[in-house]
Structure formats: C-alpha cells, structure tokens
C-alpha cells in the first residue's frame, strides 16, 4: 500500500511536472543539511523503483474542469446559431447602413419629464459609500444560496432618491456642441458646457473628476472638469493613415490610467487611440477594422473589445501591451457590455433591415457564442445591471428598450420609449 501510494503521488507529480521519470537519469539526491538530531526524511521517495503508469494509475487531473468554466468543455457550436434570413452583406452598400450619429435627435428641452424606470447614466460617481440599488429590485441582490432567477416580472418599486448621493447625468449634445449636466434627484437642468464640434459621446473618468467628450468634427477630445463645469484640456488626435480623426467614443481602464478612443472611420483609417490620462498624450495607435461603433473594457481591465460594425468583427486588445489579441465575428456589431465578472460579453448586432436586431452573448474565456437573442431594430447601446442578472439594449429603429434575463439569456420584455431613437442608457441612484 505504501509503495503504491508513493507511486501514485509520483505519478501525480509527473503529470504536473510532465517529467518522464523512467528516463530521468541517475541524479544523486542530497538531502538538505540539517542538524543531526532533527528528523528529516533522509530517505525520500525513490524516484526510480516503482514503475508507474501515469495514464492509468491516477484519475487524469486535467479531467477536473478548470477553470470552473473550462473553455474547452462542451463548446457550443457557434456556426449552429440560426443565421438571419435576410442578411445583406454590409460590404455591399455600406452607405445604406444607417449611421445613428447622422440623425441624433435633439435633447428635449431641460428639465426632462420623469422617466418610468432608471434609465439615465450615472456619469458622475459619488464619493458616498452607500447608495440605492440602481435597478428595479425584483429579487434581493445578494440572496444566499442564490436560486436561479426565473425571469418572473419584477414587482414594481418606486424610486426614492437621495439628493445627497444621487448621480449627475452628463449628456453629449452634438448639435449644440455642448455637454449638458443634469441632476437626477429631482431631474433638473444644471449647466451646459461648450466643447468641440459635434461631440457624439461623453464619458466620465473612473475617479469622477472629469468628463471626456469625443468631438467628431474637431478631431479632438474635450476634457471637462466636473467640479467647475469648464473645459480644462483638449487632446488633438492625429491623423491615421491619412484619415483625419473622427472620435466617437471613449472608455477608460478601471484604474483610470489609460483611455481608449475609437475613431469612427473606414479601414484603413479606423483606429483606436490609446491615451495616457495623466499626460493626456497618445501612447499608441492600434489599427482596427472598419467603423468601430463602440468599445468596452472587461471589468478587470485586462482587455478592450472594439465593435467594428462595417467589417462585422470585434477586435480584442490586450491593454497591458496595447496589442491585438484576436478578432471574433459578430454581425454588424454596435454596442458592447460585460457582466460584472467579465465572463460574458453582450454585443448588440444591428441587422440592416431595421426591424430586428440581436444581442449576441459571448463566453469571454472561450470566445464562443453561447446565445443570440432577438431584440428590436438597430440595437445600439448595451447595459448590464450591477447584479449581472439583466441586460438592457436600446433599439434605435424600434423606439424601444429590450430587457434580457442574463441567467436564461431570454427576452423578458420590450419597453416602448417615449420619443424617438433611444441611444444612451444607464442607471442612476
């Protein structure tokens, strides 16, 4: 028994090591020096006396799924996903692809009417350590021994905000060349700040101190101080392959050290600018495929995903080296979001027919598609609730928002939106 177990453990070590002990050679073992009176295993397991079969003598440790979501186990067949019947090749007539940025509706005159659900972006993070649950709470966030959420409709809750901790909303107003600050408890207009020309997107830094506006027609980023509501800096973006910069989005690494700006242009002008936030200088330009519609960073900050709608690809970039890791396919991808654990990527796919779109769910580890859920027309922006249990998608052409159960990957409901062309979506407290 003793030799048998010793052999088994050696076999285990062999599997871990990958060493062929039978052919290792006659290395003399010298025990570490110790005082004579200290017990020491001076007769360690003899490596060469017990022939073993590492294949048959031990259960294969590689059979134990690791990580828990072993990317190699039971990969779904991505090509088995139903193919949309009316797919038009986006390369045929790219000019027919509606550009959501061509017809951005006016922001309603401030103040806005109250909204039925929490659909506004908490652009300015509060320093308060506590805050209200941001999404409707059909179930408590932290159930122990958590049962699967079945997607039953949530009982209605009434939002009660705390003005001291409520978010401030920052909205890009391209036609006014401004960004607007709006309080959310109650909703009221605060201030407009003039930035560059045609700012189509604005993002607040992780520390909540600044808002970066992407000015499509100025080839620049305007940096607005949240505290003073003034522009405190401008980053001029260089041309890339002769194409002037047309920045349409900004994302930050969680540590706030690096910003990535998508350049909404055709290949070979399509590029990602990696910018050092502290020095406000361009670190690197990373080529990507045509017309990057948006980008998102995994929650751990390790990779950047870029949705290249014209080429139906997603570029995955390692943020430590700012190099392309790989690309995956998606049908006219627009918006991207990750669940809080970074194990799932949700990608809006804008079918050209304008009547339906899809939300593709990726397993981030294996890059396989695990679900594809039909949503409304021209899905644009994707948001995942902090619990990771729900996903919301704006459908520009359908004037609606799709709510998806992230546990079952099924559509819960479609919420009509008062007004037209919903683009942005976020949660407030």
* Residue 89 touching another protein (CB under 8 A): yes
Nearer to another protein, 132 or 194 (CB): 132
CA distance 359 to 335: 9
Nearer to another protein, 115 or 257 (CB): 257
Q: Which of residues 289-318 bind another protein (CB under 8 A)?
A: 298-303, 312-313, 318
Collapsing DSSP to helix, strand or coil, 255 comes out as coil
Instruction: Compute the C-alpha angle 339/344/350, nearest 5°.
Output: 95
Minimum distance from residue 257 beta carbon to another protein (Å):
11
Nearer to another protein, 342 or 353 (CB): 342
Nearer to another protein, 29 or 232 (CB): 29
Nearer to another protein, 327 or 421 (CB): 327
- Which residue has 């819960």 as its token pair? 412
The site for another protein, by CB under 8 A, has a size of 106
* Residue 328 touching another protein (CB under 8 A): yes
Q: Quick one: residue 301, left, alpha or beta (phi over 0 = left, psi -120 to 50 = alpha)?
A: left
Following DSSP, what letter does each residue of 207-251 receive, concatenated?
TSSEEEEEETTTTEEEEEETTTTEEEEEEEPPPBTTBPP-EEEEE
Check: CB of residue 229 under 8 Å from CB of residue 181: yes
Q: Which two structure tokens, joined as six digits, stand for 52?
A: 């073993």
Which span (96-104, 264-272, 319-327, 392-400) binds another protein, by CB under 8 A?
319-327
* Residue 111 touching another protein (CB under 8 A): no
| Interface map 192-231 toward another protein (x if CB under 8 A) | ----------------------------------------
Identified binder of another protein from the candidate list 111, 116, 340, 418, rule CB under 8 A:
340
Identified binder of another protein from the candidate list 51, 59, 82, 242, rule CB under 8 A:
59
Which span (37-45, 107-115, 170-178, 190-198) binds another protein, by CB under 8 A?
37-45
CA distance 126 to 139: 25
Q: Which of residues 147-186 bind another protein (CB under 8 A)?
A: 147-148, 155-157, 162, 165
Minimum distance from residue 356 beta carbon to another protein (Å):
17
* Residue 39 touching another protein (CB under 8 A): yes
Q: Which of residues 364-383 bind another protein (CB under 8 A)?
A: 364-369
* Residue 82 touching another protein (CB under 8 A): no
Minimum distance from residue 180 beta carbon to another protein (Å):
25
Check: CB of residue 309 under 8 Å from CB of residue 319: no
* Residue 113 touching another protein (CB under 8 A): no
Find the DSSP H helices in 328-390.
none
CA distance 269 to 222: 21
Q: Which two structure tokens, joined as six digits, stand for 367?
A: 């890059």
φ, ψ at 10 (rounded to 5°): -65, -40
* Residue 106 touching another protein (CB under 8 A): no
Peptide bond into 34 cis (omega under 30): no
- What's the order of all strands across the beta sheet hosting 292-297? 292-297, 303-308, 313-318, 323-329
Return the CA Rg of the chain.
Answer: 27
Nearer to another protein, 26 or 113 (CB): 26
Minimum distance from residue 419 beta carbon to another protein (Å):
29
* Residue 48 touching another protein (CB under 8 A): no
């Amino acid at each position: 028994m003793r030799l048998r177990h010793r052999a088994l453990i050696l076999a285990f070590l062999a599997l871990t090591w990958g060493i062929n002990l039978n052919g290792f050679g006659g290395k003399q073992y010298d025990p570490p020096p110790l005082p004579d009176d200290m017990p020491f295993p001076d007769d360690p397991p003899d490596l060469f006396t017990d022939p073993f079969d590492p294949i048959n003598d031990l259960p294969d440790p590689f059979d134990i799924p690791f990580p828990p979501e072993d990317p190699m186990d039971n990969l779904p067949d991505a090509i088995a996903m139903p193919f949309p019947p009316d797919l038009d090749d986006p390369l045929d007539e790219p000019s027919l692809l509606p550009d959501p940025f061509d017809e951005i509706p006016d922001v309603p005159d401030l103040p806005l009417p109250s909204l039925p659900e929490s659909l506004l972006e908490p652009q300015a993070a509060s320093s308060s350590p506590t805050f209200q649950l941001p999404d409707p709470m059909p179930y408590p966030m932290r159930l122990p021994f958590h049962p699967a959420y079945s997607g039953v409709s949530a009982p209605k809750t009434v939002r009660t905000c705390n003005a001291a901790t409520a978010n401030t909303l920052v909205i890009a107003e391209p036609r006014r060349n401004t960004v607007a600050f709006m309080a959310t408890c109650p909703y009221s207009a605060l201030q407009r700040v003039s930035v560059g020309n045609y700012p189509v997107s604005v993002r607040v830094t992780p520390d909540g101190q600044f808002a970066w506006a992407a000015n499509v027609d100025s080839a620049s980023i305007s940096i607005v101080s949240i505290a003073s509501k003034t522009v405190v800096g401008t980053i001029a973006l260089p041309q890339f392959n002769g194409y002037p910069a047309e920045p349409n989005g900004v994302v930050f690494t969680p540590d706030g050290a690096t910003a990535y700006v998508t350049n909404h242009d055709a290949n070979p002008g399509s590029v990602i600018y990696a910018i050092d936030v502290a020095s406000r200088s361009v670190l690197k330009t990373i080529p990507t495929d045509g017309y990057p519609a948006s980008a998102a960073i995994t929650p751990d900050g390790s990779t950047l995903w870029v949705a290249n709608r014209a080429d139906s690809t997603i570029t995955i970039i390692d943020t430590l080296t700012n190099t392309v890791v790989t690309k995956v396919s998606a049908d006219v991808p627009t918006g991207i979001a990750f669940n809080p654990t970074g194990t799932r990527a949700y990608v809006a796919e804008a079918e050209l027919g304008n009547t339906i779109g899809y939300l593709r769910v990726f397993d981030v580890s294996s890059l396989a598609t695990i679900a594809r859920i039909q949503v409304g027309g021209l899905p644009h922006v994707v948001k995942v609730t902090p619990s990771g249990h729900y996903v919301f998608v704006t459908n520009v052409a359908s004037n609606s928002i799709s709510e998806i159960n992230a546990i079952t990957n099924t559509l819960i409901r479609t919420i009509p939106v008062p007004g037209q062309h919903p683009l942005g979506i976020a949660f407030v407290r």
